[in-house]
Chains A and B, each alone.
Chain A
């Protein structure tokens, strides 16, 4: 009777080890992403663009200029619930799973390949990078990622639609 209990207890320990390792790994990746973006942001060019880990970013200030000049389309790469709770006005929702199984999000048809697209997610999240990458693969070369995400946009008092998330 004691042995099966011991096996189960050790199994629980293995799962706990997996949880701890997963959380630490997620934390390190997030820190690495954040640090790289912060470092590169200081080197952004006069149009507010910079590249970090191969991804093209745009600074918050320049994204705000693009927004007020109606010079870019905005894409919310967060969850449907996040999007419903709050978004940058006029932003279209295109999430990670819209691309699963090689899918092409129909909402991309509403956009022009000649215009700049700014993709964002909550903050410090990787989904914007993945969504931006997939969008570029469909020929939208002028796709940029909003540095610091929606949280910084909201914090700066820039226009927001909805209650906020």
Chain B
């Protein structure tokens, strides 16, 4: 039951987050460029397309229950990257708008900061819940294995 709840919540959040960004990837490009990684325009725009699609695939894997633990690993990896990125921005004193859910503000408003770090830690905690509990029976994987 815990597994089902965790994967559905985290999966829905990731699909929503990815989907809102796919509509306008350049919103994310703004944020990536703010990190001043020295990437070319081309690389920044490519990353702005890759991140949302990776979120959608991880979210779909969790939501549908196709290799949900792998989806959780990807989700935790992305969240850890976001957390370190936000901390790096704060340390450098940079104010960057959160493109996390496209034009929507979920749980946190204003520039990337402490609230976003805490929110991502909570999401990562839900991901750990998916990893640490047995896979529930309402997954596609579960249905397929019962048919065999």
**Are A and B bound to each other?**
yes
Binding site for B on A (CB under 8 A): 7-11, 13-15, 17-19, 21-23, 25-26, 29, 78-79, 81-82, 95-97, 99-102, 121-122, 125-127, 130
How far, in whole Å, are A15 and B33 apart by their CA atoms in the complex? 22
Cβ contact within 8 Å between B54 and A22: yes
Q: Given the interface contacts A11-B74, A22-B54, A26-B46, does A96 sit within 8 Å of B97 by beta carbon?
A: no
Name A126's contact: one of B22, B26, B57 (CB within 8 Å).
Answer: B26
By a CB distance below 8 angstroms, the chain B residues around A21 are: 50, 53, 56-57
**Contact A26–B45 (Cβ < 8 Å):** yes
**1/0 contact string of B72-108 vs chain A (CB within 8 Å):** 0110010000000000000000011100000000000
A-side interface mostly: helix
Once the chains are docked, how many angstroms separate the CA of A26 from the CA of B22?
10
- Whether A23 and B97, one on each chain, are in contact in the complex, defined by CB atoms closer than 8 angstroms, is no
- In the complex, residue of chain A having the shortest beta-carbon distance to the beta carbon of B43: A79
In angstroms, Cα B58 to Cα A122, docked, is: 33
Q: Interface on B for A, CB 8 Å cutoff? A: 22, 25-26, 29-31, 33-34, 38-42, 44-47, 49-58, 61, 67, 69-71, 73-74, 77, 95-97, 111
**A11 and B70 in contact, given A22-B52, A79-B40, A122-B41 (Cβ under 8 angstroms):** yes
Contact of A19 among B25, B26, B50 (CB under 8 A): B50
**Which of B41, B52, B96 is the one whose CB lies under 8 Å from A100?**
B96
Q: Count CB-based A-B contacts (< 8 Å).
A: 110
Report whether A82 and B53 are in contact in the complex, using a CB–CB cutoff of 8 Å: no
Could you tell me if A96 and B70 are in contact, using CB atoms closer than 8 angstroms? no
A22 near B50 (CB under 8 angstroms)? yes
From residue A75, how far is it (CB to closest CB) to chain B in Å?
14
Cα distance A11–B57 in the bound complex, in angstroms: 10
- Cα A78 to Cα B67 with chains together (Å): 41
In the docked arrangement, what's the CA distance between A7 and B68, Å? 9
Residues of the B chain whose Cβ atoms lie less than 8 Å from the Cβ of A125: 41-42, 45
| Contact with B33, one of A8, A10, A17, A95 (Cβ below 8 angstroms) | A95
> Once bound together, how far apart are the Cα atoms of A117 and B91, in whole Å?
36
Residues in chain B near residue A10, CB distance under 8 A: 67, 69-70
In angstroms, Cα B96 to Cα A13, docked, is: 31
Q: Check A22 against B34 for contact (C-beta < 8 Å).
A: no
A residues in contact with B51, CB < 8 Å: 18, 22
